Amino acid sequence: MKVPYLDLKAQYESIRGEIGDAIQQVLDRTAFAGGPFVAQFEKEFAAFCGTRFSAGVGSGTDALWMALLGLGIGPGDEVVTVPDTFIATAEAISWCGAKPVFVDVDPVTYNMDPSKIESAVTEKTKAIIPVHLFGQMADMDPVMEIARKRKLYVVEDASQAHGAEYKGKKAGSIGDAGCFSFYPGKNLGAYGEAGAVVTNNEELDKKMRMLRDHGQAKKYYHSLIGWNARMDGIQGAVLSVKLKHLDAWTEARRRNAKRYDELLRNVPGVIVPVEAPYAKHVYHIYAIRVADRDRLIASLAEKDIHCGIHYPIPVHLLDAYKSLNLGKGSFPVAEKNAAEFVSLPMFAELSREQIETVGKEIWSELASLTAR
């Protein structure tokens, strides 16, 4: 049985009529760059996240960059984050002229280890970016406690955590800002590039809205040196449609994850993801850990079961960040994770039969390896 890693078409077919109507409305009103459809989505997404404001931008990377710029992060500053993430987290820091300072991650949740933060803070540190990896929020209480004590900003990288919760609070609503990606494969995905920053800080929201639109609050009156990071009207309309379905899709993902847990928990050599007691995991990624990762992925591919790796190289070991002079062994937990993660097929429309096929083949492959 073929099991794709992701099936965007299956989701599209379930909402085809709604999407067609929404896009037609944008065409009829010719509201293509920003405009009323983006404004409507911003209002809806802020309400969903439990924040006062939401600013739509061109991508998740833009979201991180606009948030940091809006908070005044610049040359000479340092921002503490994790190496177990997509490069965009670090890129946004670098494009502000600041320096990413990494701390290792918790071996169970794969998120920022709060016990490592204080030793990474210097007089140059201005912010902390906890990454809610794979759809589970980082342990935010100790992060916020350190930030308040040290007078640091907290920017949540919630790019994989739409609707995730920490002690009942939604991702993005706890720090000074929460940054989301709506890349098509995300739990809430656009039909192109898009992102958003949510916040309860009115001044930050106003500044980010200017920064995303060439530094202008009024057309041709530029108060800041900004950038073109606006969200397209079509993406705003598409996201408004999809947001109505997100809770149902999340529950489907959680059911799928529970079935994977049942099938794989006792498989020799497999470590399944753990939902922390404080968390509601939304399973953007269902990543197991396996020692001989490459062999397993190849074996599954031969059976038309397709997996991914998130992420094969931790950021501190990428060529792009050689200048930080952080070699192997700098962050052992993140490095071990990077060598062992296997992202299994995960999407709301995944069938029980497909999940059980994946589980059966993993059992079979790892049993044969154990026997050798």
The most distant pair of C-alpha atoms in the chain lies apart, rounded to whole Å, by 71
**For residue 368, pLDDT beyond 80:** no
Alpha-carbon span 141 to 32, nearest angstrom = 40
Question: Can you tell me the distance from the alpha carbon of 138 to that of 146, in angstroms, rounded to the nearest whole number?
Answer: 14
Break the chain into its structural domains and give their ranges.
Answer: 8-243, 246-371
Facing residues of 125 across strands?
A: 78
Please, which pLDDT band fits residue 33 given cuts at 50, 70 and 90?
Answer: very high
Chain centroid offset of residue 131 CA: 7
pLDDT at 292: 92
pLDDT at 366: 87
pLDDT of residue 176: 98
**pLDDT 10s digits, 131-153:** 999 999 999 999 999 999 999 99
The per-residue pLDDT for range 255-268, each reduced to its tens digit, is: 999 999 999 999 99
pLDDT digits (tens, 9 = 90+) for 308-350: 999 999 999 999 999 999 999 999 999 999 999 999 999 999 9
Question: pLDDT digit string (tens) for 38-69?
Answer: 999 999 999 999 999 999 999 999 999 999 99
**Average pLDDT, stretch 294-315?**
97
What's the CATH architecture for 8-243? 3-Layer(aba) Sandwich (3.40)
Q: What predicted TM-score, i.e. pTM, was given to this entire model?
A: 0.97
Q: Is the pLDDT of residue 371 over 60?
A: no
Cα distances (Å, whole numbers) of residue 222 to 36, 65, 138, 196:
22, 19, 38, 22
Asked if 8-243 and 246-371 have one fold, the answer is no
Ranges 84-88, 150-154, 275-279, 364-368: which has the least confidence: 364-368
The structure tokens listed for 175 are 């720090």
User: Whole-number mean pLDDT of the chain?
Assistant: 97
Query: 180-235, pLDDT tens digit by residue?
Result: 999 999 999 999 999 999 999 999 999 999 999 999 999 999 999 999 999 999 99
Query: DSSP string covering 31-80, please?
Result: --BSSHHHHHHHHHHHHHHT-SEEEEES-HHHHHHHHHHHTT--TT-EEE
Beta strand residue intervals within the chain, DSSP E: 53-57, 78-81, 99-102, 125-128, 153-157, 165-166, 169-170, 177-181, 195-199, 216-218, 221-222, 270-271, 279-280, 286-290, 341-344
Give residue 1's pLDDT band: very low, low, confident or very high (50, 70, 90): very high
pLDDT score of 95: 98
Would you call 5 exposed, middle or buried from its count of C-beta atoms within 10 A (0-12, 13-18, 19+)?
middle
Residue appearing with tokens 């935010």: 140
Residue from 94, 338, 56, 4 nearest 192 by CA: 56
How much is the pLDDT for 367? 75
CATH classification (class only), 246-371: alpha beta
| Distance in angstroms (rounded) separating the CA atoms of residues 310 and 291 | 15
199 three-state secondary structure: strand
Per-residue pLDDT tens over the stretch 77-111: 999 999 999 999 999 999 999 999 999 999 999 99
Mean local confidence (pLDDT), 262-278: 96
Taking alpha carbons only, the member of 245, 296, 308, 280 closest to residue 168 is 280
CB 81 within 8 A of CB 128: yes
Please report, for residues 249, 260, 294, the alpha-carbon distance to residue 353 in angstroms, rounded to integers and kept in the order given: 18, 11, 24
271-295 mean pLDDT = 97
At 128, is the pLDDT very low, low, confident or very high (cuts 50, 70, 90)? very high
pLDDT at 370 over 80: no
Residue 369's pLDDT is 60
